[in-house]
A and B are shown apart, each in its own frame.
Chain A
């Protein structure tokens, strides 16, 4: 009878024991698979939450009077709109989500508002992501909370601004910032209204995460900016940038700390179960040895079963872990949970790791048993 047939007969005979061991391997694989699959979402979620803190870089014309800048909230100088194109053509930058703006305080009737021309967000080559802000169609306006209230605007209204008629596409919720006083229009409309064609006075951007705490990221940003936009200067909103970077690092460190323990614990779990199973079947080793079966045959019988269960357990555990992550992920990660998907690389890793742990664990007691005299193996059963 072949080794495979013997393994099948033994497994079929000890259905409960085999099922329990298989179930344990399934759980031991499902746990890290689910953890890792959901962990990917957790990392994405952290990234999204940090991104939603807003743009953390402001690139303004180098000639800006900084006192006026901080007083007015924008630069009185302008720079060419095409600076965003220069960023977009590069893929090796620490900047992303580039948003060109043209801002001026203007009168709307008796009220002063902050007119903000908004371009579509652009990304450097190979870094395209969903936009962080809304787009404003030409001929329309999005009114900030205070501006809408002061001007009595509601969605669908027509408003006149600097001789231009605009349809109010949206009235924005209160933010508690200067943004409440803005009226957003399309950049081209703002350029036309302010008679500043092809000009912007600010490019906002998001600094990409830097994983190396030793790197002076502000110096790096300034070097890159000097190379691309020599006529600009970069300001980093340190609180946002640091909070973002710190949170990303905390999330990564937490993951790096927990993951090895999860994997080690599950590996040891599989190993203990396999070793216990082999130990419980020691008398069989004695019988087979007494019948003259060599140690290679016996080892293949026991390690073969461990490998087979490891493979089946890896497949089922991967399915279970992924299913749980997909089912439960969205409630834990409302922003990115829906994007939790099958991580196929985990299947490959599980198919290697689970049988390997089981085989190594099974090999130990098997080798120890076949090294004993057959009579000693049998005596352990009789003594048990």
Chain B
């Protein structure tokens, strides 16, 4: 599902030393796997996730996702690739503030509309426990509820790859458990998950954990993390 070779992302600012957020990273994730990337703040976890999600072009290296070299695609094709293949859960949710919960979830399916989409949104609202808050704006929701909306949005178009950046980082235990449950259901349907987390709290269903330090893969124990 994911095949990265020598991926680096270097940030250069005038007058400052260049910083490699990720440095020569090699990574393979198989279809159906649930991989957790851990590491301290600033270790490059989010950069790696964004690079895999076709949202941040690497300075060097090759990034292949779902059989596509995503950065060989044009901007329009890459956008279509994201819309079709990838679901992304941001740590800060990134919900559109002027759309209610239902519209935020539906916003992910720009190319799909009609009754099928509405039914899928309703189903996801039930599964994330927000059916009663479908008409609320993000500002009227708790952090846990926002994150569940973000997860629902990421899952609506049935992506083959779910990328999640600290999906439970801001959540209470109950909300964390709800998110874990959603990931489990997605996984059970054959989905692949790559999740970033900075703490060592175990997450249910993780197949393996990769540790990043200073932009490099420090270790890949391969052990199950549950």
A interface residues with partner B (beta carbon < 8 Å): 1, 6, 9-10, 12-14, 283-284, 286-295, 297, 370-371, 373-376, 378, 382
Contact = CB atoms under 8 A, between A and B. Distances in A.
B98 A291 contact: no
B98 A373 contact: no
A303 B108 CA distance: 21
B108 A291 contact: yes
A292 B80 contact: yes
Given A288-B107, A290-B82, 7 more contacts: A14-B98, A289-B55, A290-B53, A294-B79, A370-B75, A374-B50, A375-B56
A183 B83 CA distance: 94
B83 A293 contact: yes
Nearest to B85: A292
Contacts of A290: 53, 55, 82, 88, 90, 94
A13 B55 contact: no
B82 A292 contact: yes
Q: How large is the interface on B (under 10, 10 to 19, 20 to 34, 35 or more residues)?
A: 20 to 34
A99 to B, nearest CB: 70
Given A14-B98, A287-B96, A375 B55 contact: yes
Nearest to B98: A13
A294 to B, nearest CB: 5
A25 B76 CA distance: 33
Interface in B161-182: none
A375 B50 contact: yes
B218 interface: no
Interface string B97-118: 1110001001110110000000
Interface in B42-77: 50, 53, 55-57, 75-76
Given A283-B94, A287-B96, A374-B55, A1 B103 contact: yes
Nearest to A297: B110
A376 B21 CA distance: 14
B98 A9 contact: yes
Contacts of B83: 291-293
A283 B75 CA distance: 18
- Secondary structure at the A interface, as helix, strand, loop or mixed, is helix
B84 interface: yes
Contacts of A297: 110
B92 interface: yes
A292 B88 CA distance: 11
A10 B76 CA distance: 24
A295 B56 contact: no
B99 A9 contact: yes
A283 B97 CA distance: 11
Given A373-B55, A376-B56, A10 B98 contact: yes
A284 B96 contact: yes
A373 B57 contact: yes
Most buried by A among B55, B88, B99: B55
Contacts of A10: 98
Contacts of A286: 94
B80 A378 contact: no
B149 to A, nearest CB: 13
A10 to B, nearest CB: 5
**Which of A293, A370, A382 gathers most chain B CB within 10 Å?**
A293
Nearest to B81: A292
Q: What 9 pairs across the A-B complex have the smallest Cβ distances?
A: A292-B83, A13-B98, A375-B56, A292-B82, A375-B50, A374-B55, A375-B55, A10-B98, A287-B94
Nearest to B54: A374
B103 A9 contact: yes
Contacts of B86: 292
A12 B98 contact: yes
Given A13-B97, A382-B92, A291 B55 contact: no
Contacts of A283: 94
Contact of A378 (B94, B97, B103): B94
Nearest to B49: A375
B82 A291 contact: yes
Contacts of A374: 50, 55-56, 82
A284 B94 CA distance: 8
Contacts of B76: 294-295
A295 to B, nearest CB: 7
Contact of B110 (A12, A293, A295): A293
Contact of A1 (B84, B92, B94, B107): B107
A149 to B, nearest CB: 82
A376 B153 CA distance: 21
Contacts of B79: 289, 292-295
B110 A378 contact: no
A288 B96 CA distance: 9
Nearest to B94: A287
Contacts of B53: 290
Contacts of B96: 284, 287-288
Contacts of A371: 75
7 contacts: A1-B103, A14-B98, A287-B95, A290-B94, A291-B107, A371-B75, A373-B57
A290 B213 CA distance: 26
Contacts of B75: 295, 370-371
A292 B97 contact: no
A293 B106 CA distance: 12
